[in-house]
Amino acid sequence: MAREVKLYTTPTCPYCKMAKKFLEDNGIKYQEFNIAEDKAAREELKKCGSLAVPTICFEGETLVGFNEAELKQKLGLK
Amino acid sequence: MYDLIIIGGGPAGMTAAVYAARKKINTLLISYDIGGQGLTSWLVENYMGYQFIGGRELMQKFEEQLNQFPTSVKVEEGKMVEKLSKVDGGFEVKTHDGETYQARAIVLATGKSPRKLGVPGENELLGRGVTYCAICDGPVFADLNVAVIGGGNSALEAANDMVKIARHVYLISLVALTADEILIDRIKNAGNATILLEHEVLEIKGTNRVEGIRIRELKSKQEKELAVDGVFIEIGLIPNSGLLKELVAPNRLGEIQVNCASETGMPGIFGAGDVTSVPDKQIVIAAGEGAKAALQAHRYLQRLRN
């Protein structure tokens, strides 16, 4: 089942680049929101309870920061 | 067993890896990230060959150069090294996932990490308004009020970037500002910044996100609360020297003490970059020290063979 993965980023954030690479390497489709430009996305991010990037939201989960081990576990990857 | 394990993938570690590769040393580079602290510089204006270049872009160029040598250097990215110990014929490195790797020689280039304030609310509200990465999270605080803690160059750079993004910036420093004059002038003229010197932070307040900070003026002992949505902590860095602690004691500043030949006091372990006692933490210096450490490791390995 395809799940909706949202990735909130800023263009200057190195950990966002790492998160993107991780998702791409693992074949996970995601929608990226650049909160430096996209005001609506910035508000959405705050509603998730996060004030940091990268934040990854899917199925009610909010993962703040890039933590590969945690991401793998939550996304059910080996 | 590898000939050499380089721990750390910042400017020092990557340069060491390129030098090791050119000597055809069988090398493993282990790092949580590729780029290290180089990734968190907005703009680098003093790396020779580039009048100005973004930190991230410069690190990409380092990585491209490193990738020219895939046969000599294996790279393990995304791994945290937890333990370094001495074994028969060399050293063993254990990573967070339980894997172990062995090598005859080690280059430690583990850099530095942000120093924490150590006040209530700091850990609890991390990612919820508390940040150590201004370059990452700055835009999140558009049109909000923020506090930047610290008085050095990193703090002033963060404050000067945030006055363009945030509604109001409070710059709070325990001591007089130590940053470059040009940065101090810039924040004084910003118009939407308040500078509070000789103030200490007592608490970061908020339940689900940062709502304010409680500070105290050192002389008068007077406390006050500022309503802010973000707290940028820029109070310096601490060396990531813990791995070597059991083998060689760090210096007074917690750094790995090295001599001019990058030697640490434990034969076979070399140090490079910001984690070491070499004065001045700069990308150009770290890169040079990485080169030195790899060449010294090469000589050490040759001596082992003879």
CB contact under 8 A, A51 and B131: yes
What's the rounded Cα separation, in Å, for the pair B191 and B168? 9
Chain-centre distance for alpha carbon B290? 15
Domains of chain A: 6-75 (3.40.30.10)
Tens digits of per-residue pLDDT, B182-238?
999 999 999 999 999 999 999 999 998 999 999 999 999 999 999 999 999 999 899
- CB neighbours (10 Å) of residue B161? 19
Q: Does B210 touch chain A (CB under 8 A)?
A: yes
CB contact under 8 A, B137 and A64: no
* Residue B58 distance to chain A (closest CA, Å): 12
Tell me, what's the pLDDT at A2? 60
Tokens at B213, concatenated = 């900070």
Tell me, what's the pLDDT at B112? 95
| HSE (side-chain half, CA atoms, 13 Å) at B64 | 6
- What pTM value is reported for the model? 0.77
Tens digits of per-residue pLDDT, B101-148?
999 999 999 999 999 999 999 999 999 999 998 888 999 999 999 999
Residue spans in chain B of domains classed CATH 3.50.50.60: 2-114+237-305, 130-233
- CB neighbours (10 Å) of residue A30? 17
Chosen for mutation from B58, B75, B133 (greatest number of chain A CBs closer than 10 Å) is B133
Name residues whose C-beta falls within 8 Å of residue B132's C-beta, 6 or more positions apart in sequence: B114, B232, B233, B234
- Chain A positions touching B210 (Cβ under 8 A) are 51
- Chain A positions touching B230 (Cβ under 8 A) are 51
Q: Which of B136, B161, B180, B229 is catalytic?
A: B136
Q: Does B131 touch chain A (CB under 8 A)?
A: yes
Is residue B136 among the annotated active site residues?
yes
A12 forms bridges with which residues in the sheet?
none
CB contact under 8 A, B139 and A35: yes
* Residue B188 distance to chain A (closest CA, Å): 25
- Homologous superfamily of the B130-233 domain (CATH): FAD/NAD(P)-binding domain (3.50.50.60)
Q: Which CATH number among 3.90.700.10, 3.30.479.30, 1.10.1740.10, 3.50.50.60 corresponds to the domain B2-114+237-305? A: 3.50.50.60
Is residue B133 among the annotated active site residues?
yes
Name residues whose C-beta falls within 8 Å of residue B106's C-beta, 6 or more positions apart in sequence: B4, B5, B6, B7, B84, B91, B93, B268, B269, B270, B297
